[in-house]
């Protein structure tokens, strides 16, 4: 019979000798292995205090972006909702009134913008679809919650902090981990 | 008038000693659970519980507190009296064994010489055997009264396992007793203090005794009575809250006591190695304290080995277990007994 790989080994079917059948020697060998592991470096990461570094392409929870003057970039065009394969995004558009130019970048804005984090699969298609650079995926993930309602993120949850009034929080939310490290 | 002749202070002394020993065994059992989790973690390249208190040393308290607040469930179709009796018996027999263990030499307090042993009965080993074999009733009664086929199966397994291994255990000890000529644990320790530890003369008997002790404590690889993966929890499947806690706790107390018995019988009890106690009688009570510390160190080493084995080997299959007990250990113990007897006869000629 031809074997599939060259790693195949014939099984030893000899009956056990008396020494083997009282298991002691083999158990002793096993105990030496566990003892070796006893003194090995531990693989544990103390989670809330320590975190593993994310990969550079990590896709976390969405953030609604602002421009450098702190105005919301989203124009409620709906392309992200259209691109979303999980249909997690809903929004309602509204027209910018005069006097609101410092709040919204263009004449149309999202009055309501919700992402259902239980549906979201973090594929990043919304970020790719957005023509205005208004939504992108950050380096944090959605925290756990006790009821479903808390997983529906509204605009206030998603909006990035204002770069004018809260520059540090803005930078952090932008995912600039270097600044994050400096603060520690 | 008869009551006046009773040595009341002796009674008080023994009561205090009993309280201390029981508390100490419970404390050791409590921290054995912590040690078990830590050792398991370390052998699996983890670090184990470390959140409750520094290094997680309050973890056993948290576990105990959790068990107390769990709901007490007594199944409808169980036998209620026996259902409660099961864990109580398991705990009781586990605690009773420590009565004959000599913890250390005598101490002098308030002008009295107090032996640090609750009862120096001259049939100490027989007493231990009697109480340990009672321990299986805890498993049997618990498993049977639960009215659950898994529990019953586990109880049957546990009982047959304990009975099979008790034979080999007894036989291995006979070889030792032929040498010591005494059943009193205190005398055995004193003999070892005068000459060498028994493990040097009877290594095979020790090995058999150790394997049987593992089986008696229902520890892996002999934990067929619990067998999480096949009998989902075994005899304590229907138990909850502190009744479950008692079963789990009794296992650790058993482990502590059997380590103590092994240290006493084979490793010189409270004898300090490479140190002549009789030349330092002027140390007084400190000698006894040093003896306790030494004894505890020996016990901890045994407990560590118990846990080390648990986290190394998987459970035996039932036929392997019976094979090992009846076809391997009992003949070995018998041969050991025969050889010891022959050597003793030859030496005395």
Q: Tally the domains of chain B.
A: 1
CB B303 within 8 A of CB B219: no
Instruction: State the residue for tokens 């040498």.
Output: B179
Considering the domain boundaries, does residue A2 fall inside one? no
Mean pLDDT of A92-117: 89
Closest chain B C-alpha to A143 CA, distance in angstroms: 21
Report which of residues B1 and A165 the model is more confident about: A165
Do you find a cis peptide bond into B3, omega within 30 degrees of 0?
no
Residues of B in contact with A42 (CB under 8 A): 42, 45-47
Strand partners, B115: B106
CB A43 within 8 A of CB B46: yes
**According to the model, what pLDDT value does residue A178 have?**
45
Cα dihedral sign, B242-B32-B56-B23: positive
- How far is it, in rounded angstroms, from Cα A142 to Cα B320? 51
Residues of A in contact with B308 (CB under 8 A): 31, 34-35
Considering the domain boundaries, does residue A37 fall inside one? no
**Model confidence, pTM:** 0.80
Interface ipTM: 0.77
- How far is it, in rounded angstroms, from Cα A176 to Cα A162? 15
CB B256 within 8 A of CB B29: yes
A1: pLDDT confidence band, cut at 50, 70 and 90? low
DSSP summary character for residue B315: P
**What's the Cα-to-Cα distance from A62 to each of A86, A113, A115, B153, rounded to whole Å?**
14, 12, 8, 55
Give the domain extent around B38: 2-348
Query: Percentage of chain A surpassing pLDDT 70?
Result: 94
Considering the domain boundaries, does residue A145 fall inside one? yes
Examine the pLDDT at A179 and tell me if it is beyond 50: no
Ranges under pLDDT 70 in chain B? 1-4
As a whole number, the mean pLDDT across chain A is: 84
Query: Cβ contact (<8 Å) for A22 and B332?
Result: yes
pLDDT tens for each residue of A108-159? 999 999 999 999 999 989 989 999 888 888 877 777 888 888 889 988 888 8
Neighbours of A177 (CB within 10 A): 12
Nearest to A135 by CA among A86, A69, A71, A73: A73
Domain of residue A172, CATH code: 3.30.70.3270
Query: Cβ contact (<8 Å) for B45 and A30?
Result: no
Does the beta carbon of B39 lie under 8 angstroms from any beta carbon of chain A? yes
Task: Convert B8-44 into a string of H (helix), E (strand) and C (coil).
Answer: HHHHHHHHHHHHHHHHHHHHHHHHHHHHHHHHHHHHC
Q: How close are the terminal C-alpha atoms of chain A, in Å?
A: 64
SS3 B58: coil
Instruction: State the residue for tokens 């003999």.
Output: B191
* CB-nearest partner of B43 from A22, A34, A41: A34
pLDDT tens for each residue of A49-76? 888 887 878 888 888 888 888 888 899 9
Q: Which of residues 68-107 of A touch B (CB under 8 A)?
A: none
Q: Which of residues 174-233 of B touch A (CB under 8 A)?
A: 207, 221
Beta carbon pairs, A and B, within 8 Å: 44
Nearest CA in chain A to B316: A23
**According to the model, what pLDDT value does residue B305 have?**
92
Give the domain extent around A156: 62-183
Of the CA atoms within 13 Å of residue B11, those in its CB half-sphere come to: 6
DSSP summary character for residue B112: E
CB B126 within 8 A of CB B188: no
Q: Kind and range of the H or E element at B104?
A: strand B104-109
Q: How close are the terminal C-alpha atoms of chain B, in Å?
A: 55
**What's the Cα-to-Cα distance from A49 to each of A7, A171, B46, B53, B214, rounded to whole Å?**
44, 21, 17, 16, 40
Nearby residues of A61 by Cβ (< 8 Å), 6 or more positions away: A117, A122, A137, A138, A140, A141, A142, A153
CB A154 within 8 A of CB A111: no
Strand partners, A95: A108
**According to the model, what pLDDT value does residue B3 have?**
67
Cα dihedral sign, B202-B203-B208-B214: positive
Torsion angle (degrees, nearest 10) of CA B149, B218, B184, B286 = -130
- How far is it, in rounded angstroms, from Cα A28 to Cα B154? 28
Question: Are β-strands B104-109 and B112-116 bridged in parallel, bridged antiparallel, or unpaired?
Answer: antiparallel
Considering the domain boundaries, does residue A13 fall inside one? no
Torsion angle (degrees, nearest 10) of CA A101, A105, A109, A112 = -90
Nearest to A142 by CA among A112, A111, A120: A120
**According to the model, what pLDDT value does residue A119 have?**
92
Examine the pLDDT at A177 and tell me if it is beyond 70: no
Nearest CA in chain A to B307: A31
Query: DSSP string of A27-81?
Result: HHHHHHHHHHHHTSPP----TTTS-PPPPTT---SEEE-B-TTS-B------HHH
E strand spans, A81-149: 89-95, 108-116, 135-137
Closest chain A C-alpha to B343 CA, distance in angstroms: 24
Query: DSSP string of A130-145?
Result: -TTS-EEE-S--PPP-
Q: Tally the domains of chain A.
A: 1
- How far is it, in rounded angstroms, from Cα B125 to Cα B102? 12
DSSP summary character for residue A110: E
CB A70 within 8 A of CB A101: no
Nearest CA in chain A to B43: A38
Residues of A in contact with B328 (CB under 8 A): 18, 21-22
Nearest to B49 by CA among B38, B60, B39: B38
Considering the domain boundaries, does residue A139 fall inside one? yes
Mean pLDDT of A24-35: 88
Considering the domain boundaries, does residue A141 fall inside one? yes
**According to the model, what pLDDT value does residue A175 have?**
62
């Amino acid at each position: 019979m031809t074997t599939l790989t060259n790693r195949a080994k014939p099984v030893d079917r000899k009956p056990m000798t008396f020494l083997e059948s009282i298991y002691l020697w083999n158990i002793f060998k096993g105990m030496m292995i566990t003892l070796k592991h006893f003194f090995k470096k531990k693989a544990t990461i103390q989670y809330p205090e320590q975190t593993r570094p994310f990969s550079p392409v990590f896709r976390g929870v969405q953030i609604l972006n602002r421009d450098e003057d702190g105005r919301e970039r989203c124009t409620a065009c709906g392309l992200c909702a259209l691109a979303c394969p999980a249909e997690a995004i809903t929004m309602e558009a509204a027209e910018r009134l005069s006097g609101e130019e410092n709040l919204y970048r263009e004449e149309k804005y999202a009055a309501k913008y919700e992402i259902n984090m239980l549906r979201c699969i973090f594929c990043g298609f919304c970020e790719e679809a957005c023509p205005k650079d208004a939504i992108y995926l950050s380096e944090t993930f959605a925290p756990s919650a006790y009821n479903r309602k808390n997983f529906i993120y509204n605009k206030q949850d998603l909006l990035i902090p204002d770069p004018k009034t809260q520059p540090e929080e803005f930078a952090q939310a932008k995912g600039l981990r270097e600044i994050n490290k400096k603060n520690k | 008038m008869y009551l006046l002749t009773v040595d009341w202070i002796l009674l008080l002394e023994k009561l205090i000693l009993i309280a201390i020993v029981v508390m100490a065994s419970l404390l050791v059992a409590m921290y054995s659970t912590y040690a078990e989790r830590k050792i398991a973690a370390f052998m699996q390249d983890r670090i184990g519980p470390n959140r409750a208190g520094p290094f997680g040393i309050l973890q056993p308290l948290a576990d105990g507190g959790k068990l107390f607040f769990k709901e007490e469930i007594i199944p409808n179709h169980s036998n209620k009296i026996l259902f409660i009796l099961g864990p109580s018996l398991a705990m009781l027999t586990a605690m009773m064994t420590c009565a004959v263990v000599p913890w250390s030499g005598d101490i002098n307090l308030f002008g009295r010489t107090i032996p640090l042993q609750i009862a120096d009965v001259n049939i100490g080993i027989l007493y231990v055997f009697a109480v340990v074999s009672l321990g299986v009733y805890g498993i049997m009664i618990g498993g049977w009264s639960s009215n659950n086929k898994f529990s019953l199966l586990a109880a049957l397994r546990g009982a047959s396992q304990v009975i099979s291994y008790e034979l080999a255990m007894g036989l291995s000890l006979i070889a030792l007793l032929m040498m010591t000529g005494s059943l009193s644990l205190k005398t055995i320790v004193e003999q070892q203090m005068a000459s060498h530890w028994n493990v040097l003369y009877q290594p095979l008997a020790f090995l058999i005794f150790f394997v049987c002790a593992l089986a008696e404590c229902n520890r892996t690889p002999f934990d067929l009575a619990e067998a999480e993966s096949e009998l989902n929890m075994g005899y304590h499947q229907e138990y909850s809250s502190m009744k479950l806690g008692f079963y789990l706790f009794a296992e650790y107390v058993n482990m502590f006591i059997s380590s103590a018995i092994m240290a006493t019988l084979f490793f010189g009890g409270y004898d300090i190695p490479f140190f002549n106690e009789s030349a330092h009688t002027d140390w007084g009570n400190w000698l006894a304290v040093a003896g306790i510390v030494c004894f505890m160190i020996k016990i901890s080493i045994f407990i560590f080995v118990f846990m080390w084995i648990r986290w190394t080997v998987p459970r035996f299959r039932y036929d392997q277990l019976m094979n090992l007990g009846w076809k391997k250990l009992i003949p070995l113990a018998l041969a050991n007994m025969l050889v010891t007897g022959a050597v003793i006869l030859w030496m005395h000629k």
